[in-house]
Structure 1
Amino acid sequence: MIVELSHPIVEGMVTYPGVPGPVLGTHLSREDSRGVYAPGTEFHIGTITLAANTGTYLDTPHHRYDGGPDLSQVPLSSMADLPGIVVRATGARDREIVLDPDLDVRGKAVLVHTGWDRHFGTDAYFHGHPYLAPESARRLADRGAALVGIDSLNMDDTPPRGERPAHTVLLAAGIPLVEHLTGLAALPDEGFRFHAAPPMVAGMGTFPVRAYAVVP
């Protein structure tokens, strides 16, 4: 079974306050293509202008650190076909999510399920969201997590200041991050493979992904 874990990208959507929504366009319309190809043959070539932080996206170290590995330099083995585990935090009373210190995370994609994705596409999504506790981010880095994802607005608390401790620690350790996941409720706690590979764009640190899980 394949489980979809990404939000669709639609024109004008707002993923994060202040980041412009995507704009869809047309490079070659079907009508115009009829003058290019043989009779009965037509194509559509579309265009899209978007910020890298749109929809469900993956952060590489280059997003946080000048000179860090970018989208073209992070190996596929860090983003695709990873053994995954889901950490359930939907019933947490505090917005700060503290993970079990005994969790076995080495070499795994650790997906934090907060349930906040239910607000995606509404103004409520931008305020009071759950986030990963800084000490948990440090523990994930120390214990060799392969990737960390969350179904919330940000891995870190926002605003209140410009500090981003989870991004800082995890990306320094070379651990990719996936934010704005959805559908984690459909996954088992473990025993699945996680995939979230973006295109190989040199010089960029973040890009949307089609995140999904393969469940036996």
Structure 2
Amino acid sequence: MIVELSHRVVEGMTTFPGIPGPKLGVHLSREDSRGMYAPGTEFHIGMITMAANTGTYVDTPFHRYAGGGDLSQVPLSKLADLPGLVVRSAGQRVVSLDRALDVRGRAVLIHTGWDRHFGTDAYAHGHPHLAPESAAWLAGQGPALVGIDSLNIDDTPPHGERPAHSILLRAGIPIVEHLTGLDALPDDGFRFHAAPPMVAGLGTFPVRAYAVVP
């Protein structure tokens, strides 16, 4: 079974307050293409203009650190076909992890249930986030990736620090934010995928996150 874990990207959507929504356009319409091909053959080539932090996306070290690996430099072994682990934390605004968990080499997905607010004003206010001390513990344990179904893995006061981003990305651990559908996954025993395009010079980009459940 394949479980969808991404939000749809649609015209004008809001992912994070202050980041503009995507704009969809057309480079080549079906009508215009008809004169370029044999009768009955037509194509559509679209265009999209968007911030890299749109929908469900991955943060790579370059997002936080100028010398960190960008989308083209993070290996697939940290983004695809990862053994998954879901941490259930509904009702916790500050998520602390059980330090008995075996997270090494795994995609650690934090299920808060906050994705139910995606697309509403409530999504941006009082969202759950990872405790800095848990981020530090994760960095020492060597997970492949960490994800959350919330606005941000950090608390987001204006001009505030972002300790979870700083700690995890410094350790070379990608972060996937704005996940959805984690309630449909078992606690473990699945494979997680969230690979972006290999774009040099960018630190973030939308992904089609999904899980394969036996």
Deviation for aligned residue 1:159: 1.5
2:63 match: secondary structure: helix
Deviation for aligned residue 1:161: 3.6
| In 2, Cα distance between equivalents of 1:159 and 1:203 | 27
Deviations 1:67-104 (A, max 9, x none): 11000000000000000000000133xx1100101111
Give the 5 Å matches for 1:1-216. Answer: 1-92=1-92, 95-216=93-214
Corresponding pairs, count: 214
Tell me the C-alpha RMSD between the 2 structures. Answer: 0.6
| In 2, Cα distance between equivalents of 1:98 and 1:174 | 21
State the one-letter code of the partner of 2:83: P
State the one-letter code of the partner of 1:205: G
Unaligned runs of 5+ in 1: none
2:35 match: secondary structure: coil
Deviations 1:41-82 (A, max 9, x none): 000000000000000000000000001100000000000000
2:116 match: secondary structure: helix
State the one-letter code of the partner of 2:20: P
Identity rate, percent: 80
TM normalised by structure 1 equals 0.98
| In 1, Cα distance between equivalents of 2:160 and 2:131 | 16
Unaligned runs of 5+ in 2: none
State the one-letter code of the partner of 1:138: A
State the one-letter code of the partner of 2:134: S
State the one-letter code of the partner of 1:100: D
1:193 match: secondary structure: strand
| In 2, Cα distance between equivalents of 1:13 and 1:198 | 20
| In 1, Cα distance between equivalents of 2:129 and 2:208 | 22
| In 2, Cα distance between equivalents of 1:160 and 1:131 | 15
Moved more, 60-69 or 159-168: 159-168
1:35 match: secondary structure: helix
